[in-house]
Amino acid sequence: MTYQLRDLKDSVVVITGATSGIGAAAARQLVELGCKVVLNARNEGRLQEMVAELGAENATYVAGDSSIPDVSRAVAKKAIDTFGTIDCVVPNAGVGMYGSVLDYSDDEITRMMRTNYEGTVHIVRATLPAMLEKEAGDIIIVASAAGFRGGPTEAVYAGTKHAQVGFAGALDRELREKGVRVALVCPAATETEFALNVGRIAGEPRQATFLRPDDVAFQIVQILRQPRTVRTHIWTLWSIHQPNP
């Protein structure tokens, strides 16, 4: 008998940063497997395009910044009002800027810290009660390989990713006996809109060596498909061309 993966049909998955890159790829792959997705990002026009692509019977959205508690609570409410429950949350919204710790304005640095860390914490806090109520669920946090070792031009960014790693570790210890699994997906550089014009340039040759959004989304799907008797916690990814740090 072959190994039995979970059937994800009608599972309800909340995804932040859902209009491009890893978040959009994950939404597409999950809907292909029969999931219902609740999408969050700042850009309402793009969210509407995603829902039109995926189908209103499969997807809904709330526009706004998930680092604002009321926005995260609105996302959770939309999931329950539309699809009746929450089975998984994928905190994926992220901002990156490369350079010295002294580069960029106070507002830009604060936005990166809030989006990457506070956005993770608040969407987890908003969605977790629905999973605890039924003693089953998944939290799959999209962090970064920089969460374990940051490079010389990413001190603040790496700090936010270290924060996600620390948060996920403690959360796993808090929730695993309550039926909620916590996993970290930590990719190396991925070919997305991330950090464009603040450290990366669209179309630069090195992007051909990066991971693809679908590579990372596939790992998210596989974590969710694991039988509930299994929990895995840290998934790190590099393309075949990227050296481990």
- Residue 39 β-bridge partners: 15, 61
Active-site position among 3, 61, 117, 157? 157
Between CA 230 and CA 65 the distance in angstroms is 33
157 classed as catalytic: yes
3-state secondary structure the chain: CCCCCCCCCCCEEEEECCCCHHHHHHHHHHHHCCCEEEEEECCHHHHHHHHHHHCCCCEEEEECCCCCHHHHHHHHHHHHHHHCCCCEEECCCCCCCCCCCCCCCHHHHHHHHHHHHHHHHHHHHHHHHHHHHHCCEEEEEECCHHHCCCCCCCHHHHHHHHHHHHHHHHHHHHHHHHCEEEEEEEECCECCCCCECCCECCCCHHHHHCECHHHHHHHHHHHHHCCCCCCCCEEEECCCCCCCC
List the catalytic residues: 157
